[in-house]
Chains A and B, each alone.
Chain A
Amino acid sequence: MPFKGRWTWGWAAALTSVLLLPAPASGQKSGSLPLTHYRLKNGLNVILSEDFTLPVVSVAVAYDVGSVHEPQGKTGMAAVMENLMFSGSANVPPRQHFNYINRVGGTFNALLMEDRTVFYQTVPSNRLSLVLWLESDRMRFLEIGSRAFEDARAAILEDLRDRRAGDPYYDGARAFDQLLYSDFAHSHSLYGSEEDVRGLTLDDLRAFYAARYGPNNAVLCITGNFDKLKARELISQYFETLPRGRDAAPAAEPLALARKQVVTTFAGSASSAPAFHLGFRLPAPRSVDFYTLTILDYVLLRGRSSRITRRLLNPDAKIAYQLSGGIEKRRDRSVYKIFVIANNEAMAERCQSALFAELDRLKSSPLSEEALGRYKAMFKQDFMGRLSTTVDRALYLTDFFLSLGDFQEFGLELDKYLSVTPADIVGIVARYFSPENSIILNVRTK
């Protein structure tokens, strides 16, 4: 079953074909990634990045489609479509995509996000043409028959039931999204509602495919050990003749910051342990503040020495049972989420007080350079980790392009993250992590 997760999103403005040379020397490996970006006449953006370390190649195809593109009453279409993309196309028998990849020793997966769906595979480098054949076939000739549709819909309904049954906080999290995001597109569930999914028709899915899965709504990225000229020939052969689809709708407006704290209660939790969601609205991912916000995320929640983790989960004075959270980025909006499960109501209140106390402490007692350096090292490790395999790089490059719309900043971003200062952290906490900009949903047990 393809992995489901979140990823960063943004949509690109039209680009002309351009060969991007490595960015100025930054001393960081990301700057030395070879990179070629161009666009086919049908609008398909192509990114190529060679690496001859191992005889391996990865191909990612990212579509500008996710749950945010579903109209009211038709939620769940993106999830059903993700499943249908493996159900066979004109020249690939049903469910054989996986077999073609598996037989050559390759791996595949898919990511479904609120504003993006990515299909990716890694194969030995002598099988690049096989993947391009498979991806081009489902980009243009997907066969959405009634049986495949029924199977995909049943799989999503089962998935929804499993999620609700397996997570007593599932409904509370959906309620929190409705508080945090102000519009239907962003506040509804990634997998839709059971009622909507049951009501979907074959025509709904065929129309959704026609509207959203064309080459001009996609990015093709190849990374690894391949011959660039040969790859361009293959891309031209398999993708150039695919007709352009409908153009994507313009980006939504960024989310406005809250001006007054919202505190409310969700009473329907099936769990026996109380919990709460705490959220802050943030600027769009393209904002310059985002570099500092990303490092602040490490200060607050990443690693065992992060401030909130240590405060709430300290073994000697553990006041929370479980803690999770971080930045949630979408196309043109982002939020910071923290979710805490506590042992009892009193502890839940203590956790909230402790959280705001930690945020206040960051403003009143700025981090030392040394302490900030520790968080930056953790960030750098993760950043480098995102570039460590061909498929990681394919996902990173599609993410970069879709988030920023071009590669002008490529190779420079690590230095920007590492240039964040203690004073920047103080400013960002004051600007975005105030009680006035916070939204709290207390989850009460039945």
Chain B
Amino acid sequence: MKIRTALSIGGLAVLIAAPVLSAQQERFRKTPPPPEPLQQELGLPALSAPTVLSNGLRVSVAYRESAPFMGLELLVNAGENVSPDAEPGLATFVASLLSRGTQTRSATEIEEIVESLGGTLFVTVNQDYVRISFHVLQENLDPALDLLAQMLLQPQFSEREIANVRRIITYDLQEKESNPEFVAKRQLYRLLFKGHPYEKFAVSRDLLRNWTPRDIQDFFDRYYRPNNAHLIITGNLSLSQATRKISHVLNTWPAREIPGSPQKPVRPPDKDRVCLVDLPQSSDACILFVGTAFPRPDPADRFALTVLNQVLGGSLSSRLLMNLRESKEFANYAFSEVDVFRSAGLLFIRARVLPDKVVPALQEIQKEVRALATTRPAVPTEIELAKTYLLGNFPLGLERFDQFTARMADIIALGGGEELWNGYYGQVMLVDADRVLDAAQRYLLPLPFVAVIAGDRASLTGRLAALEAYDIYDSKGQFLATSTKDKKGALHEAGGMRPEFQRRPGQK
């Protein structure tokens, strides 16, 4: 009772006092304060040329005096692009087995060792490479290197662990396949990278083969070689100390000629294309992924594309969201992203739209993309806003130890340099309206776009009537039919395999 009385009196006081206090505010409270000058130097450890050990292993050190952890990032050129064409997923499968046992340690024992070192051990696989990320407390670098060496020099691929990994990957894919965003993005990758080694990254459960320990060992022996790897140590350690320690544990890792995997340039799509992925349970909203692929941009173009992307759909104040959500109310969200791989670049838009607005949303997305290169190029104020965001946000993404090491490793793995690291501020500042327009005209305007709609086919069919044609796939990416409009405007569906899609991903 006492509390209630006190609260009521407090409320009354606020009601009475509020207008008076507002009137008494100091002048400086009326407007946001101006920014201080931006610190020009990021002060990150330099990405210097690596030391190469006698067996070909490249070694780099990122010196971080105050870090309580030591980070080991082992990059191996064994991403999905080197999986055999008929065996998509093999690279991921092998990488997943690396921590599942050695000739002297079981998977459980490895887990216990990692924990006893105050550590974490993660393996990630992408199109181009595998990254083994092993972080431990600073005082535990030596045992961490010992364990890493065991995993590389004495791997053990047992039937039991192969079965476990198969179960884990299958379950993981099953979970992801219930996510419309995952399904739509995977389908976009498949269509954009059709016939390119990157296509194998978009694997589905039914494509995983029953690999034997021999298959795994063969792949491992071919690609997990020191002359195909780069070890980066982050922490309070000099390059000479690092080289000595690494030589001590990995000097017996034998080099071998690596099978050739030429960087095949990606071919942009030949024409605009729309496809529908049928997700019967997604009747309330549908996901749109619209993108195009192009040869890997040079560094200057890359920064222009980054700023362009920011204007288009990189933030909550970007054009796509302002148009599709705030103005037209077609979408819950609409963002764009730029990805750069070793032999390709990719710009895509992802949006969650209302099912009855999917076609107009698609048209608005296309309009916004084209407008950047034609009728409504990015203006200086938009570009300054985009640059402010990028400059401010960049160091935030380097604060966590794992973020820092991952970012640096990715730059090194993809052949980038200081321009993406200590030179990031300077490169962003150099971008102006002319360069953004030039990038839009060269990368966006001439290139056809592929659009993937992931949603419930039954509820969407009538709503897609405005489209001239679209292909229909199931959730695993199997082609089902093509819907085309005849001269009278009526839609017809024709099933069967389209010639260019008869070969399933990874199949010869």
Binding site for B on A (CB under 8 A): 29, 53-56, 71, 74, 90-91, 98-100, 102-107, 122-130, 133-134, 136-137, 140-141, 203-204, 206-211, 225, 237-238, 241, 246, 303-305, 373-374, 377-378, 380-381, 384, 387-391
Flag whether B119 is at the interface (Cβ < 8 A): yes
* A-B contacts besides A238-B29, A384-B118, 5 pairs, CB < 8 Å: A54-B42, A105-B393, A378-B115, A387-B68, A389-B399
Q: Which 7 A-B pairs have the closest CB atoms?
A: A105-B392, A207-B11, A105-B393, A381-B118, A377-B118, A207-B7, A124-B392
Of A102, A241, A391, the contact of B316 (CB 8 Å cutoff): A102
A56 CA / B6 CA spacing, docked (Å):
42
Interface SS of chain A: helix
Pair A56/B396 contact, Cβ less than 8 Å: yes
Contact indicator B10/A106 (Cβ below 8 Å)? no
> Is the Cβ of A102 less than 8 Å from the Cβ of B32?
no
- B400/A388 in contact, CB under 8 A: yes
Q: Is the CB of B111 within 8 A of A107?
A: no
Bound together, the chains give a CA A127 to CA B395 distance in angstroms of 13
List B contacts of A303 (CB < 8 A). 115
Neighbouring B residues of A53 by C-beta, 8 Å: 43, 66
Within 8 A of A (CB), among B370-401: 385, 388-396, 398-401
- Residue B36, interface by CB 8 Å: yes
Task: Indicate if the CB atoms of A207 and B38 lie closer than 8 Å.
Answer: no
A123 to B3, CA, bound (A): 39
Does the CB pair B21–A140 fall under 8 Å?
Answer: yes
Please judge, given known A-B contacts A104-B389, A104-B392, A303-B115, whether A56 and B399 are in contact too, CB under 8 Å.
yes
Does B490 count as interface, using CB distance less than 8 angstroms?
A: no
Sample 11 A-B pairs with CB under 8 A, ordered by A number: A54-B398, A71-B4, A104-B35, A107-B396, A129-B33, A203-B8, A206-B11, A207-B7, A208-B10, A210-B10, A384-B137
Residues in B neighbouring A390, C-beta threshold 8 A: 399
Partner of A29, one of B36, B68, B112: B68
Q: Is the CB of B38 within 8 A of A124?
A: yes
Q: B169 → chain A, closest Cβ, in Å? A: 16
Judging by beta carbons under 8 Å apart, are B29 and A129 in contact? no
**B6 CB contacts on chain A under 8 angstroms:** 211, 246
Contact mask B354-378 → A, CB, 8 Å, 1/0?
0000000000000000000000000
Is there a chain A Cβ closer than 8 Å to B117's Cβ? yes
With A53-B66, A206-B14 as known contacts, state yes or no: A380 contacts B392, CB within 8 Å: no
Tell me the minimal C-beta distance from B179 to chain A in angstroms. Answer: 16
Q: Which of these, B8, B21, B22, contacts A207 with CB under 8 Å?
A: B8
- Contact status B22-A141, CB under 8 Å: yes
- The answer to whether A304 and B111 have CB atoms under 8 Å apart is yes
- Is there contact, CB below 8 Å, between B400 and A204? no
The docked-state distance in angstroms from the alpha carbon of A24 to that of B52 is 42
Residues of A within 8 A of B316 (CB): 98-99, 102
Residue of A nearest to B112 (CB): A305
Contact status of A378 and B118, CB under 8 A, knowing A91-B29, A124-B391, A206-B14: yes
Minimum CB–CB distance for B67 against chain A, Å:
8
- Measured between alpha carbons, how far is A307 from B30 in the docked complex, in Å? 58
Chain A, Cβ-Cβ closest to B164: A315
A84 to chain B, nearest CB (A): 13
Cα(A57)–Cα(B458), bound, Å: 51
Q: How many A-B residue pairs lie within 8 Å, measured between CB atoms?
A: 165
B395–A55 CB distance below 8 A: yes
B317 part of interface (Cβ distance < 8 Å): yes
Interface of chain B residues 68 through 126 with chain A (CB within 8 A): 68-69, 108, 111-112, 115-120
* Minimum C-beta distance from A48 to chain B (A): 17
Q: Is the CB of B396 within 8 A of A126?
A: no
A124-B38, A305-B115 known; A102 and B396 CB under 8 Å? Answer: no
- Across the interface, which residues of B come within 8 angstroms of A388, CB to CB? 68, 399-401
CA–CA, A140 to B3, complex, Å?
22
Does residue B260 face the partner (Cβ distance < 8 Å to A)? no
In the complex with contacts A54-B42, A381-B118, A133-B33 CB distance below 8 A: yes
Q: Does B25 contact A (CB under 8 A)?
A: yes
Q: Could you tell me the distance between the alpha carbons of A10 and B21 in the complex, rounded to whole angstroms?
A: 31
Check B116 against A373 for contact (C-beta < 8 Å).
yes
How many Å lie between the Cα of A102 and that of B42 in the bound state? 21
Question: Which residues on the B side are within 8 Å of A206 (C-beta)?
Answer: 10-11, 14-15
CB 8 Å contact bits of B140-165 with A (1 = contact, 0 = none): 10000000000000000000000000
CA distance A128 to B6 in the complex (A): 36
Partner of A208, one of B7, B68, B388, B395: B7
A395 CB to closest chain B CB, in angstroms?
13
**A74 and B389 alpha carbons, distance in the complex (Å):** 41
Chain A residue nearest in CB terms to B68: A384
Would you call A100 and B32 a contact (CB within 8 A)? yes
Whether B36 pairs with A126 at a CB distance below 8 angstroms is yes
Q: Decide if B398 touches A141 in the complex (CB within 8 Å).
A: no
Binary interface encoding of chain B residues 397-423 relative to chain A, with 1 for a CB under 8 A from any of its CBs, else 0:
011110000000000000000000000
B388 near A104: Cβ-Cβ < 8 Å: yes
A122 / chain B contacts, CB cutoff of 8 Å: 396, 399
- A380 in contact with B38 (CB, 8 Å): no
Question: What B residues does A90 contact at CB under 8 A?
Answer: 22, 25, 29
Please indicate the chain B residues that have their CB under 8 angstroms from the CB of A238 in the complex: 29
Roughly how many angstroms separate A56 CA and B38 CA in the complex, as a whole number? 11
Q: Does B496 contact A (CB under 8 A)?
A: no
Q: Does B484 contact A (CB under 8 A)?
A: no
Say whether B390 contacts A105, CB under 8 Å.
Answer: yes
A100 to chain B: which residues have CB within 8 Å?
A: 32
Chain B nearest CB, measured from A426 CB (Å): 21
B39 within 8 A of A: yes
B49 within 8 A of A: no
